[in-house]
Amino acid sequence: MEQALAIRAHPITEHAMPLAGARQSGAPVPVFYLEPQQLTGPDPLSSAVQTNWVYPVMAGGEPGLVDIRPADNESVSEFGGIYYGLLARRVGESVQLAQLAVGENNMAFQLRLLQMPELDFAALWLKGRNEDYFISLFEGRPPGTATLQLQGDVLAELREQAAHRFASVDELDPDGTPTN
């Protein structure tokens, strides 16, 4: 990750670019994708597919996420881009909230990011042995303005959103997948 950022930061523009200069990075967070049609199954979260990793990065006071994706050769990873702005800020804030919640309860969780772009949904997913918690990142109007909250279940809300969004047969391909 550091090597990919260094290659992209030209010495002259390094301090003017987002995430340039001295960087601090956090532990990688696996990113999972859940397809809308998977919401109809009995345990949708078990069918979520890991697509990549994001590394939280802080540089010059601005949070960012460095996207690392598996290459064709699975023993190698490749740089997928740098995200900054609302998503990076909300991920950072939700990680802080998760640390507080986990610290109070003395429970062990794996931090994950769950994404469903078809429903404009992303959440920090605290994957536990017996229970999962979520912190939705884009709640509010405009998106990302609501106070972050730890939730025990997001599936009911996601099912309702999917049913509403894809209610029309015209919005589905012949194989049943939603179209944009």
Where do the domains of the chain lie? 2-169
Query: For the range 99-102, what are the long-range contacts, defined as Cβ-Cβ under 8 Å and sequence gap of 24 or more?
Result: 101/126, 101/133, 101/150, 102/126
Burial class (CB in 10 A: 0-12, 13-18, 19+), 70: middle
Say what the pTM is: 0.77
Mean pLDDT, residues 114-139 taken together: 92
If phi > 0 it is left, if psi is from -120 to 50 it is alpha, else beta; for residue 60 that is: left
Burial class (CB in 10 A: 0-12, 13-18, 19+), 130: exposed
Q: What are phi and psi of 23, to 5 degrees?
A: -115, 150
Using the CB atoms, write b or e for 8-19: b if 16+ within 10 Å.
Answer: ebeeeeeeeeeb
H/E element holding 116? strand 110-116
Mean pLDDT, residues 130-153 taken together: 90
pLDDT reading at 10 higher than 80: no
pLDDT reading at 171 higher than 70: no
Provide the pLDDT for residue 169.
44
Mean pLDDT, residues 26-55 taken together: 91
pLDDT tier, 127 (very low <50, low <70, confident <90, very high otherwise): very high
